[in-house]
Amino acid sequence: MRLAPVDYLILALYFVFVLCIGWIVKRRVSTSEDFLTSGRSVPVWITSLAFIAANLGAQEVIGMCASGAKYGIMTAHFYWIGAVPAMLFVGVFMMPFYYGSRARSVPEYLKLRFDEKTRALNAVTFAVMTVFSSGISMYALGLLFELVLHWSFTASVLLSAAIVLVYTFLGGLTSAIYNEVLQFFLIVLGFAPLAILAVLKAGGWSGMAARLPQVMTHTWKYAGHASENPMGVQVFGLVAGLGFVLSFGYWCTDFLVVQRAMAAESMSAARRTPLIAAFPKMVMPFVVILPGVAAVALSHMALGYSIPLKPGGGGPDYDQTLTTLMAQFYPSGMLGLGLTALMASFMSGMAGNVTAFNTVWTYDLYQGHIRKNAPDSHYLWVGRVTTIAGVAFSIGTAYLATHFNNIMDFLQLVFGFVNAPLFATFLLGMFWKRATGHGAFTGLLAGTAAAAATHGLTVAENKGGWLGAVWHTFPSTMAQNFWIAICAFSVCLIATALVSLISTPRVESELQNLVYGLTRIPHEDVPWYKRPAPLALIVIAALVLLNVLFW
């Protein structure tokens, strides 16, 4: 891929704007809460777009396009059942407790609801995981730019990391959120034209359907048996594993996304954040997955296009689908925009991780365990220093992400171990006042252990089975991951409930604004289209329609 000066000009212009936003926002940061939680003052349309943009990292964009080429439109499940229902749940049912408790982070909610050890466990695993995700994202980007543009791996990683560092260092969470909105529009305007051009070239949807095997153009029709679809999953594993445990575990408890909603200016805005975000989330498959599906159709037409093979054999390298399509359809100019969008997706993912890591480290670990009663200016200083440390750790861990062929599968594995049991903890914590701190802590440990054990005792595509005995063989690692999540969730749920019943419950007066039944949800006098329930119903109707259309 050859770039013209105009492409570099667009990339440079983007960098200038990103840094400008950081510089302008800097003036509004005077306390640690301004820096780490945006002082709860961000308008709802901004938090909504940031809510999905923080999740829309480079590995998401490249990985989803890759999965589109590998599995077909079935990949849309990661959005339609793997994200949207959980987003509705967190907005309608969970946000009143997150926002109402005045917690500054998800681990801090756990401290208020349960105890210090539960918070510490969650904060530490979360901190490690965010740095890890950030590193994976960085690695993916560096590798890609090296492959496609022959840029030095180190140079592209360091340049983009430096820019993320500058704007998050200057303006903290507000700067990250404002930039995520710019990045969101850039991702959509940079990739949507590619989807349109690729699909048109492949003969529209009907042309694609005629050229592809049927499984590639249906989402549910072949989900009945694992052997019938390329993902190797069946409907129960898909709905319970991905649609319930994994997706609720991520969207409802992952501080990276929940932090965006918690930065909203009011309870009503916080609840609407994930609901409004569900609309763009629902149509994202058409921007990021569809080009991948179209690429396979194009490779069947005598156009001279094919998905590149992995060096040294081993089938197609799906991770290159997006960039090869860009090279085929974008002339210099739009190509610069597309690459800028890729860079933007990387930066939004990384800034999201860095700002979440920041808050958790500063408030939950540093203030909670290392230095409790320092003046606020000290925590602001710690937050800023942590930004530098977070970026440095991410660069360090970027080299760990080498052993997995599909980035998506790897992320699922990590989520399965750490996040899957989490949702059980929050579910019981928010909706069962009898749940106790000892119960939650034991449940989390048991759930994570169950996840690891499931992975160790089963095998899929030569992965897992490290505990010696193999109890079950799954048709795909994806199916294995879904079942790991299901086991972790169930074990955590049962362990938490059992230990809670034999330990002393907290007095009810301490649980106000933390648990369902002891929290008064303020009735806000807003028109119907601003209320959570009607919004959620509209989302559900649109979701059902999409699933029927692409059955």
Partner 1 sequence: MSDLRITIGAFFVLVGAIVGATGLVADYHAPLESANVNLYGGAAMLIFGAVMLWLGRRKTGGHAS
Q: Which residues bind partner 1 (CB under 8 A)?
A: 4, 6, 9-10, 13-14, 17, 20-21, 24-25, 27-28, 43, 46, 178, 181-182, 185, 189, 193, 197, 201, 298, 303-305, 327-337
Q: How far is the CB of 246 from partner 1 (least distance, A)?
A: 32
| Smaller CB separation from partner 1, 43 or 396 | 43
Measured CA to CA, the distance from residue 174 to residue 25 in angstroms comes to 7
Minimum CB distance to partner 1, residue 17 (Å): 5
Nearby residues of 87 by Cβ (< 8 Å), 6 or more positions away = 51, 251, 274, 275, 277, 278, 281
Continuous segment of H or E residues that includes residue 16: helix 5-26
Give the nearest distance from C-beta 292 to partner 1 in angstroms: 16
**Residue 403 dihedral angles phi and psi, to the nearest 5°:** -90, 0
Range 335-351 burial, b when 16+ CB lie within 10 A, else e: bbbbbbbbbbbbbbbbb
Cβ closer to partner 1: 16 or 549? 16
Closest approach of partner 1 to the CB of residue 165, in Å: 20
CB of residue 53 to partner 1, shortest distance in Å: 12
Structure tokens at 81: 């059942």
- Judged by beta carbon, residue 336 or residue 437, the one nearer partner 1 is 336
Between 223 and 335, whose beta carbon lies closer to partner 1?
335
Question: At what angle are helices 58-71 and 290-299 packed, to 10 degrees?
Answer: 40
Smallest distance, partner 1 to C-beta of residue 178, A: 6
For partner 1, give the closer residue by CB, 38 or 367.
Answer: 38
Residues 1, 105: Cα–Cα separation, whole Å: 43
State whether the Cα torsion 398-399-403-405 is positive or negative: positive
Residue 237's Cβ-side half-sphere holds a number of Cα atoms within 13 Å equal to 19
> Nearest approach, Cβ of 217 to partner 1 (angstroms)?
21
List strand residue ranges (DSSP E) for 243-380, in order. Answer: none
**Collapsed DSSP state (helix, strand, coil) of residue 264:** strand
Map 451-495 to HEC letters.
HHHHHHHEEECCEECCCCCCCEEECCHHHHHHHHHHHHHHHHHHH
Which CB atom, from 24 or from 92, has the smaller least distance to partner 1? 24
Q: How far is the CB of 209 from partner 1 (least distance, A)?
A: 20
| Residues comprising the chain, all counted | 551
Distant-in-sequence, close-in-space partners of 293: CB < 8 Å, separation ≥ 6: 68, 69, 72, 73, 208, 212, 216, 217
**Complex with partner 1: residue 74 or 208, whichever CB lies closer:** 208
Contacts within 8 Å (CB) and 24+ apart, 303-309: 303/201, 307/69
The smaller minimum CB distance to partner 1, of residues 343 and 398, is found at 343
Q: Are 185 and 32 in contact (CB under 8 A)?
A: no
Q: How far apart are CA 183 and CA 332, in angstroms?
A: 20
d(CA 536, CA 87): 9
CB 328 to partner 1: min, Å: 4
CB of 185 to partner 1, least distance (A): 6
Q: Which of 201/272 has CB closer to partner 1?
A: 201
Nearer to partner 1, 56 or 129 (CB): 56
How deeply is 537 buried, as exposed, middle or buried, from its count of CB atoms within 10 A (0-12, 13-18, 19+)?
exposed
